[in-house]
């Protein structure tokens, strides 16, 4: 159990991996200045940003937010009635009836907090959720950073450690470094579709003891960037492990609406926890994260997210809520969150359009993931586990020895050099596996597949051309 004496009050900024993105921006600038390249534009599919990749936003979201930004549209009869009704309700929750006002509390608008709690209750088949356990922030990374700051303390053997999957979300290692939390890696099992192996958790914990003080475990379900969907039995094992070892459980569940694997379904850690009996449901500390950047919503640029805090000491939870007093969460992302967790229902004016748009997104994602996986597996020197959810594929690339040696000479990781050459020669920006914590001698790349089909086909064609040319250059 986290105590107030262990809470870390420091506040720092966030760094993100930008080297390849900076190179992509430089190449784009060169193209606009007339420099000749073998491609017309740079395509960045390294991050899970579907709108940048060309996917259209959901109409209901944008219509409601447009009316909230410009209330004169409340009288615009060309907009669906439920759009205008929702916007009017949301404006009524804002100070002065304006999205330009500060949030009523440092942790979120009460109406939106209630909507999120009701969404969680519906999702988890009636498991109770309380608005006071919900904390909003400007994006899931910000909420995670608050939680990391909360538990960060000590140095050397007493430094807070967190069990972290390999691979993990590519922004996580830097957030941990910024907040002073030591990364304690546990390896996911690639040959079994990137499953969580509890034996690996025990090994990681034993290895870390004496080097740091492990106090938390980080879980991605669905996996980021692996697309693995955990079975209920695995979730129960992880919860029992956290309970036995007294670890805070951090569950990233931002891709919960993007499960497309056959016979797969998302089950939240909270739901399983509360179905395991009071021995666990009243003792295991759990923080779960969700975001409007999720696949179907895809509003990455609005930076809206929340965490639900379960079984935390009331004084510690109060401190966590007050950590962002100086910068209360932005209002517009909160309204977008409300629309995400409370979409049009059957019978509403906008329901049919909404259902068609969401179905299109999910169908595109599922078909793209299957086609791209088959395509990459057909390339020599590349192997890819099929994804069951999420927006990424995470193939393993067997790099030529001479390329690995060249990378060592240059002082960079070999998968970074691979991605750099691909970007320079074909104008495609992928994510190198080392950003995801991979350092075991196997090289991986990260590819977002939530994009229009023609767009993804062009990306795959460029990757194929480069990959085959590289193997000819470095036989």
383: CB partners within 8 A, 6+ apart = 376, 377, 395, 396, 398
So what's the pLDDT on residue 324?
67
For residues 227 and 207, membership in a common domain is answered with: yes
So what's the pLDDT on residue 12?
28
Q: CA dihedral defined by 327, 332, 338, 343, rounded to 10 degrees? A: -160
For residues 332 and 412, membership in a common domain is answered with: no
CA distance 445 to 437: 12
3-state secondary structure of 221: coil
Kindly state the average pLDDT of the residues 223-235. 96
Nearest to 430 by CA among 404, 406, 403, 451: 451
CATH number of the domain that residue 454 is part of: 3.90.1150.10
397 pLDDT above the threshold of 70: yes
For residues 283 and 307, membership in a common domain is answered with: yes
Query: How many CA atoms lie within 13 Å of 190's alpha carbon, on the beta-carbon side?
Result: 16
- The Cβ of residue 83 has, within 10 Å, a number of other Cβ atoms equal to 26
Answer whether residue 36 is part of any domain. Answer: yes
Backbone angles phi, psi at 287, to 5 degrees: -125, 120
Last residue of a domain, one of 341, 374, 400: 341
Answer whether residue 4 is part of any domain. Answer: no
CA distances from 74 to 13, 59, 213, 354 (A): 39, 16, 55, 20
- Residues linked to residue 213 through DSSP beta bridges, in sequence order: 160
For residues 287 and 402, membership in a common domain is answered with: no
For residue 378, give both structure tokens: 């057909």
For residues 334 and 371, membership in a common domain is answered with: no
423 pLDDT above the threshold of 50: yes
Sheet strands (E) in 221-300 = 248-252, 286-291
386: CB partners within 8 A, 6+ apart = 193, 227, 261, 369, 370, 373
3-state secondary structure of 466: helix
For residue 371, give both structure tokens: 């086609």
Answer whether residue 107 is part of any domain. Answer: yes
Reported confidence tier of residue 21, pLDDT bands at 50, 70, 90: confident
Could you report the per-residue pLDDT of 144-200, keeping only the tens digit for each? 998 999 999 999 999 999 999 999 999 999 999 999 999 999 999 999 999 999 999
Answer whether residue 75 is part of any domain. Answer: no
CATH number of the domain that residue 112 is part of: 3.40.640.10
Last residue of a domain, one of 341, 369, 396: 341
328 pLDDT above the threshold of 70: yes
For residues 136 and 51, membership in a common domain is answered with: no
CA distance 252 to 224: 9
Domain total for the chain? 2
> pTM (2 decimals)?
0.91
For residues 51 and 141, membership in a common domain is answered with: no
Nearest to 217 by CA among 191, 192, 181: 181
For residues 209 and 174, membership in a common domain is answered with: yes
CB 21 within 8 A of CB 171: no
Answer whether residue 62 is part of any domain. Answer: no
Indicate if the alpha-carbon torsion angle 7, 103, 48, 252 is positive or negative.
positive
For residues 246 and 168, membership in a common domain is answered with: yes
For residues 121 and 269, membership in a common domain is answered with: yes
139 pLDDT above the threshold of 90: no
Reported confidence tier of residue 334, pLDDT bands at 50, 70, 90: very high
Reported confidence tier of residue 217, pLDDT bands at 50, 70, 90: very high
Nearest to 151 by CA among 82, 248, 85: 248
As a whole number, the mean pLDDT across the chain is: 90
Kindly state the average pLDDT of the residues 259-288. 95
Could you report the per-residue pLDDT of 31-73, keeping only the tens digit for each? 999 899 988 889 999 988 888 888 999 999 999 999 999 999 9
Reported confidence tier of residue 440, pLDDT bands at 50, 70, 90: low
Answer whether residue 83 is part of any domain. Answer: no
CA distance 333 to 30: 35
CA distance 224 to 249: 17
3-state secondary structure of 309: strand
Q: What percent of the chain has pLDDT over 70?
A: 95
Q: What is the DSSP string of 116-129?
A: HHHHHHHHTTT---
The parent domain of residue 392 ranges over 19-55+353-473
Answer whether residue 72 is part of any domain. Answer: no
Last residue of a domain, one of 291, 307, 341: 341
For residues 336 and 387, membership in a common domain is answered with: no
For residues 320 and 367, membership in a common domain is answered with: no
What is the largest distance, in Å, between two alpha-carbon atoms of the chain? Answer: 67
CA distance 133 to 311: 9
Nearest to 42 by CA among 50, 53, 51: 53
Q: Specify the DSSP class assigned to residue 195.
A: B
Strands 182-187 and 392-393 come out as: unpaired
Answer whether residue 262 is part of any domain. Answer: yes
CA distances from 209 to 16, 162, 437 (A): 29, 11, 20
103 pLDDT above the threshold of 90: no
- Residue corresponding to tokens 């053997």: 157
């Amino acid at each position: 159990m986290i105590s107030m004496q262990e809470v870390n009050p420091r506040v720092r900024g966030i760094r993100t991996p930008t080297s390849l993105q900076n190179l992509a921006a430089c190449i784009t600038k060169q193209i606009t200045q007339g420099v000749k390249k073998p491609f017309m534009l740079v395509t960045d599919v390294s991050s899970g940003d579907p709108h940048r990749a060309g996917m259209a936003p959901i109409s209901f979201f944008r219509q409601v937010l447009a009316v909230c930004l410009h209330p004169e549209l409340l009288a615009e009869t060309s907009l669906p009635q439920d759009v205008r009704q929702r916007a009017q309700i949301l404006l009524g929750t804002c100070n002065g009836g304006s999205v330009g006002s500060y949030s009523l509390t440092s942790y979120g608008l009460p109406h939106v907090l209630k909507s999120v709690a009701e969404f969680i209750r519906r999702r988890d088949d009636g498991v109770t959720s309380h608005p006071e356990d919900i904390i909003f922030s400007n994006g899931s990374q910000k909420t995670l950073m608050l939680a990391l700051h909360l538990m960060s303390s000590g140095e050397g053997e007493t430094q807070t450690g967190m069990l972290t999957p390999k691979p993990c979300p590519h922004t996580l290692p830097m957030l941990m470094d910024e907040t002073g939390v030591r990364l304690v890696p546990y390896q996911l099992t690639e040959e079994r579709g990137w499953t969580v192996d509890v034996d690996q958790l025990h090994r990681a914990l034993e290895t870390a003891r004496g080097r740091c003080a492990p106090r938390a475990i980080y879980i991605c379900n669905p996996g980021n960037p692996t697309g693995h969907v955990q079975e209920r039995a695995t979730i129960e094992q992880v919860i029992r492990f956290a309970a036995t070892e007294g670890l805070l459980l951090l569950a990233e569940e931002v891709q919960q609406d993007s499960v497309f694997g056959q016979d797969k379904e998302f089950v939240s850690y909270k739901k399983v926890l509360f179905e395991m009996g009071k021995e666990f449901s009243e003792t295991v500390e759990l923080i779960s994260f969700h975001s409007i950047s999720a696949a179907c919503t895809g509003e990455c640029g609005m930076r809206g997210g929340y965490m639900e805090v379960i079984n935390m000491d009331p004084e510690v939870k109060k401190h966590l809520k007050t950590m962002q007093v100086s910068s209360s969460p932005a209002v517009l992302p909160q309204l977008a969150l409300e629309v995400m967790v409370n979409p049009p229902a059957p019978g509403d004016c906008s329901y049919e359009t909404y259902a068609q748009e969401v179905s299109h997104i999910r169908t595109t994602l599922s078909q793209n993931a299957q086609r791209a996986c088959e395509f990459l597996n057909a390339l020599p020197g590349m192997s890819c586990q099929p994804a069951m959810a999420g927006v990424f594929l995470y193939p393993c690339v067997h790099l030529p020895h001479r390329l690995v040696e060249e990378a060592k000479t240059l002082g960079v990781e070999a998968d970074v050099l691979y991605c750099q050459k691909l970007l320079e020669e074909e104008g495609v920006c992928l994510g190198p596996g080392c950003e995801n914590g991979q350092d075991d001698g196997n090289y991986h790349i990260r590819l977002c597949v939530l994009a229009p089909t023609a767009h993804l086909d062009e990306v795959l064609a460029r990757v194929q051309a480069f990959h085959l040319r590289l193997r000819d250059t470095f036989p």
